Amino acid sequence: MPLKNDIKKVLVIGSGPIVIGQAAEFDYAGTQVCKTLTEIGLEVVLVNSNPATIMTDKTMASKVYIEPLKLDVLKKIIMLEKPDSLLPTLGGQTGLTLGMELAKEGFLERNNVKLIGATLDSIDKAEDRQMFEDMLADIGQPVIPSKVVNNLNDAIDFTYEIGFPVIIRPAYTLGGTGGGIAHGMDEFKVIAENGLRMSPITQIMVQKCISGWKEIEFEAIRDGKDNVITVCSMENIDPVGVHTGDSIVVAPAITLADKEFEMLRTAAINIVRALKVEGGCNIQFALHPDSFEYKVIEVNPRLSRSSALASKATGYPIAKVASLIAVGFTLDEIVNFITKKTYACTEPTIDYVVVKFPRWPFDKFVYGNRTLGTQMKATGEIMAIGNSFEMAMMKAVRCIELGLKTFNHQKYSLKTKDELYELVAHCDDERIFAIYAALKKGITPEEIYEITKIDKWFLYKMLNIVDMEKRLAESELDDELYMAAKHMGFLDGTIEELSGQRIKYKRYASYKMVDTCAAEVEAETPYFYSTFDEENEADIFLKKHPSDKKKVVVIGSGPIRIGQGVEFDYCSVHCVNALKKLGYEAVLINNNPETVSTDFDVATRLYFEPLTQEDVESVLMTEKPWGVVVQFGGQTAIKLTKFLSERGFKILGTPADSIDAAEDRERFDELLERCAIPRPAGHTAFTTEEALKAANSLGFPVLLRPSYVLGGQNMIIAYSDDDIMEYMDIITGTKLENPVLIDKYLMGTEIEVDAVCDGESLLIPGVMEHIERAGVHSGDSISVYPPQTLSDEVRGTVVEYTRKLAAALNVQGLVNVQYVLYEGQVYVIEVNPRSSRTIPYISKVTNIPIVELATRAMFGEKIADFGFGEGLYPDRDWIAVKVPVFSFPKLGDVDVHLGPEMKSTGEVLGLDRDFETALFKGLLAAGYELHKAATKVLITVKDVDKPEIVGLAQKFVEFGYEILATSSTAKYLTEHGVKAETVSMDTPEKFAEIVTIFDAGEIDFVVSTSKIGRKPAMLSVQLRRKAIERAIATLTSIDTANALANCLLTHKTVDDLNMIDICKL
């Protein structure tokens, strides 16, 4: 069946901001779908609030609306655009839920819009627990005993029926938010109550817990003719009980015999058929380790994180095929895009092992609750490919960028055997390292299996790695041993370190292809992974496809983590596109399976590899590029500059020495002095004593951070000696190679610019001003373009300083500079001679292809020739407000208080003609409810903030809220003429009263600041947690709160918003 002829104009709903459980995989899926539908001649209308994605580039669709993903907004766009179809299956849970709501209300039917890719019935059957179970019962598929309930009493009754442990799963929440496993009644009540609250329809499922069973997933795809294939099977190393997003996952499923494998594959196909999905579908099973008994855990009739992984693991582009199916094509008509010889109805078969490893944010959230369960906590993931499991695992541990080269983690190296038994039993993000340490200490795979239920197959393979370490330490390092270690994925440096011997004859990696077919047919657009086999297929491929184009290698940004998000993938993709446009071959190295950069047809060639020195050098030895680009892959790529430069590779753009000059404190100070640019006074320190001395000489408050920071990692504002001591304790816990920087903290207006430079002149697309004063990390601040409060003089100074800095650093390409305006003077805070998180949104609103220009500047083209002028580009008529989005509800015990350490996972954009409307849109898109739902606002702030809350409280009162405040705050407000009811958190009973008020739904907003936060035991931290866990908007910066209150007072509604197609900007 070819394209259905009643489909001409398709509305696509994106997934919105990146949050834990719904991340860059939807940028990847969305981009693939938009590209595909456009290619076949359809008009595509896209709605997505996330400006950081490739998907929301104006070239991706006929119409691109970066608007809040709200029902009313979508209705407005549908009325405006009159699409004939709506594709809801590629915007994650957000897109699916919105599509379903529009359909259920009858809005789609009234407006002649068809739901494509899934029917309302199939979504319901997969999403509604009861309908799901009924459907499975009809086709004879076993489910775990469970019951859907809408109140606590019913939930309790059911647990008496099935017994503990039980799992609580709230309905319609992302990444299992609000769920958990309960082993007893007290624990059960807490989780169940919370789950009911988190569910938008106050519904949870209580389910018999089958922790310890194998967790197996299938990705299947079905077309309108009822053809079904499975694309990939996956096995979670962590058994049932840990969210699949937090599990280390292996593809293909490896411990299943053919019989179990075919049993589950057939079950998957039958389920997809019963659901009548037209497109991709994910099916999760629990399989008893000692029998053929299995249960269906969950089905997602849409593209998902797993479908992205399955696509990258096999080379089969599920999103692309699914979108073609949605508009009428069938699997036997769609060509396999990798081989171009076979068809999409061929099940991929692979001849390597894939390991997916999650990246968690606990290096940043040191007090976060690390226990893994049904609620996902990882912000990103990596994919490693090897032709042995050991090699894939060893690559994986390098890819996650925790500074590890092996599974030896210093936290566990000195633990005793007894301690390790305990640690292995506790499932957290570092358990794999505890297991490795346990194997080293002689705890057997059988014992570990008994404790963890991790299949012995995996444990024996890990033991192989342990044994190899021993062999390296004990034997002579001959060529055979060296190659055996290389086949297991050891780096040369590690081999020499472990053996204490020099490698006599070094080998570089050779490369094999991901081709969907295990070499059965020749592939046209494959990608590569490293091995230590003799045959180097990349080399053969290069010889077979000679090109007179110059080759440039672009280093990607690795896993998505807080501080290095999808924005850097955006920049890498744009760099690749620019290189191709300029007539180069663009080769990309990256390891993130979720993102657009690792799609098979983005770069000329793609290498799925860790981004360490040796891994990257090996690729370069095969590719022999003309140049290497490091400035778009965030800190991951930048930190390779010096090494690659020393190894004789040509670094394009800003030279290595300039990068060092911007990051080395002393050199940077010198440079600023030379340019006569002021910066906040500061010192460096290696020890606590030095730090205390420096802080006291500068005067509190001071800002502390390690040099070479990423997203403000380990950065705090210290108000006292105690803060300094606490901080230095944490920071000196890890090896201190670089000093701690201590700066005078200036609480002024923060200003940020990105500039493109050609070594002499520069182009600043726009100046951004932050709503929050300095002290809140720039990534967590609301950023406004163009600035609303800055004088022309200040803007002039910013441009001038940027010009001087760029020239002094000899920047060729991008530079990002952050300033603070304090008491009329502009100070520079930070200079990053690389891409930044603001590039995507500024590119979109200014219509300047910043990355492309930067790429051209790297090749020596002149700013003057770009046609955008020189210096500061004129302000656009539009106001753009970038609002950060957080994933706090998913990260237990993490203090939601904003500070110099970045905490947000994503962002949205509000774009409109005036500032108030743009801000309103931004806040709405970020999830704030901007109307009065309850009656009260709770305010509790630290003393220094008190003078500022009077005006704020008055605004809330004016909007009709009553004010609740803790004792001293209430007193201050009353003294200054604002009526406030006093609450207290001085005793546990009183604290509980506040929580009761939360639970009663009386509070719309909490404004809470405290001098020191972080530690979960502190009451202020707990109060904020209680609020955020009850979905009460919690504001920890007076500036954010003021902006929000101002917004409320404009009494805007969705009706007042302009729907803006950014293609027309």
Partner 1 sequence: MNKTTDKAWLILADGTVYEGKSVGAAGTVYGELVCTTGMTGFQESLTDQSYYGQILAQTFPLMGNYGINNYDENTRVWVNGYVMREHCENPSNFRSQMGLEEFLKKQNTVGIYGVDTRALTRKVRTNGAMNCAITTEFPGDLSALLGEIREYKIEMTAPDSPPEIFGEDGFERTVVLYDYGVKDDMIKSLVSRRCKVVSVSPGTSVDGAMMKYAPDGFFIADGAGDPADYAAYLNIVRDIMASNKPVIGIGLGHQLMAMALGARVEKMKYGHRGANQPVLDVKLDKVFISTQNHGYTVCPDSVTENVGAVSHKNVNDGTCEGIRYAPGNAASLQYNPEPSSGPPDTKYFYDDFIDCMK
Residue numbers at the binding site for partner 1 (CB under 8 A) = 225-227, 229, 252, 254-258, 261-262, 265-266, 269, 289-291, 331-332, 341-343, 345-353, 387-389, 445, 455-457, 460, 464, 467-468, 471, 484, 512, 517-522, 533-535, 537
Report the residue number, 96 or 463, with the smaller CB distance to partner 1. 463
Closest to 1050 (Cα-Cα) out of 920, 945, 885: 920
Report the residue number, 256 or 909, with the smaller CB distance to partner 1. 256
Report the residue number, 518 or 725, with the smaller CB distance to partner 1. 518
Report the residue number, 345 or 995, with the smaller CB distance to partner 1. 345
Q: Alpha-carbon distance 748 to 210, whole Å?
A: 54
Q: Find the shortest distance in angstroms from Cβ 506 to partner 1.
A: 20
Q: At what angle do helices 417-425 and 445-452 cross, to 10 degrees?
A: 40
Report the residue number, 443 or 831, with the smaller CB distance to partner 1. 443
Report the residue number, 294 or 352, with the smaller CB distance to partner 1. 352
The phi-psi region of residue 279 (left if phi > 0; otherwise alpha if psi is between -120 and 50; otherwise beta) is: left
Q: Find the shortest distance in angstroms from Cβ 607 to partner 1.
A: 17
Q: Find the shortest distance in angstroms from Cβ 343 to partner 1.
A: 5
Q: Find the shortest distance in angstroms from Cβ 254 to partner 1.
A: 6
Q: Find the shortest distance in angstroms from Cβ 255 to partner 1.
A: 5
Residue 152 near residue 196 (C-beta atoms within 8 A): yes
Q: Alpha-carbon distance 637 to 659, whole Å?
A: 12
Q: Find the shortest distance in angstroms from Cβ 227 to partner 1.
A: 4
Report the residue number, 352 or 819, with the smaller CB distance to partner 1. 352
CB-count exposure of residue 681 (10 Å: 0-12, 13-18, 19+): middle
Report the residue number, 347 or 497, with the smaller CB distance to partner 1. 347
Report the residue number, 252 or 563, with the smaller CB distance to partner 1. 252
Report the residue number, 468 or 638, with the smaller CB distance to partner 1. 468
Q: Provide the sign of the torsion angle of the four alpha carbons 560, 563, 564, 568, taken in this order.
A: positive
Q: Alpha-carbon distance 1059 to 170, whole Å?
A: 33
Contacts of 544 (CB under 8 A, 6+ apart): none
Strand order in the sheet with 180-182: 146-149, 204-208, 166-170, 180-182
Provide the CA 16 distance to its chain's centre, in angstroms: 12
Provide the CA 412 distance to its chain's centre, in angstroms: 28
One-character DSSP codes across 452-521: H---HHHHHHHHHHHHHHHHHHHS---HHHHHHHHHTT--HHHHHHHH-S--SS----EEEEE-SBTTSS
Q: Find the shortest distance in angstroms from Cβ 328 to partner 1.
A: 15
Q: Find the shortest distance in angstroms from Cβ 316 to partner 1.
A: 11
Residue 749 near residue 781 (C-beta atoms within 8 A): no
One-character DSSP codes across 560-608: -BTTB-HHHHHHHHHHHHHHHHTT-EEEEEE--TTSGGGSTTTSSEEEE
Report the residue number, 461 or 1030, with the smaller CB distance to partner 1. 461
Alpha helices in 653-765 (DSSP H): 656-663, 665-675, 688-698, 721-731
Q: Alpha-carbon distance 672 to 827, whole Å?
A: 10
Task: Write the secondary structure of 57-120 as one string of H (helix), E (strand) and C (coil).
Answer: CCCCCCEEECCCCCHHHHHHHHHHHCCCEEECCCCHHHHHHHHHHHHHCCHHHHCCCEECCCCH
Q: Find the shortest distance in angstroms from Cβ 90 to partner 1.
A: 24
Contacts of 246 (CB under 8 A, 6+ apart): 238, 358, 360, 372, 376, 377, 378, 429
Q: Find the shortest distance in angstroms from Cβ 430 to partner 1.
A: 24
* Ramachandran angles phi, psi of 745, nearest 5°: -95, 120
β 936-940/279-287 pair status? unpaired
Report the residue number, 278 or 1039, with the smaller CB distance to partner 1. 278
Q: Find the shortest distance in angstroms from Cβ 234 to partner 1.
A: 12
One-character DSSP codes across 211-235: TTSEEEEEEEEE-TT--EEEEEEEE
What the block records as the tokens of 709 is 């920071």
User: Quick check: helix, strand or coil at residue 725?
Assistant: helix
β 906-912/353-359 pair status? unpaired
* Ramachandran angles phi, psi of 458, nearest 5°: -65, -40
Gap between the terminal Cα atoms of the chain: 38
Report the residue number, 389 or 886, with the smaller CB distance to partner 1. 389
- Please count the other Cβ atoms lying within 10 Å of the Cβ belonging to residue 862: 13
Q: Find the shortest distance in angstroms from Cβ 445 to partner 1.
A: 8
Q: Find the shortest distance in angstroms from Cβ 300 to partner 1.
A: 22
Alpha helices in 915-966 (DSSP H): 915-925, 946-958
Q: Find the shortest distance in angstroms from Cβ 441 to partner 1.
A: 19
Report the residue number, 457 or 708, with the smaller CB distance to partner 1. 457
Contacts of 640 (CB under 8 A, 6+ apart): 555, 611, 613, 616, 630
Report the residue number, 348 or 701, with the smaller CB distance to partner 1. 348
Q: Find the shortest distance in angstroms from Cβ 493 to partner 1.
A: 22
Q: Find the shortest distance in angstroms from Cβ 703 to partner 1.
A: 51
Q: Find the shortest distance in angstroms from Cβ 452 to partner 1.
A: 14
Rg (C-alpha) for the chain, rounded Å, is 28
Max Cα-Cα span within the chain: 83
Report the residue number, 342 or 707, with the smaller CB distance to partner 1. 342
β 962-966/980-983 pair status? parallel
Element (H, E) at 385: strand 380-386
Report the residue number, 444 or 974, with the smaller CB distance to partner 1. 444
Q: Find the shortest distance in angstroms from Cβ 1000 to partner 1.
A: 52
Q: Alpha-carbon distance 737 to 1032, whole Å?
A: 42
Report the residue number, 245 or 386, with the smaller CB distance to partner 1. 386
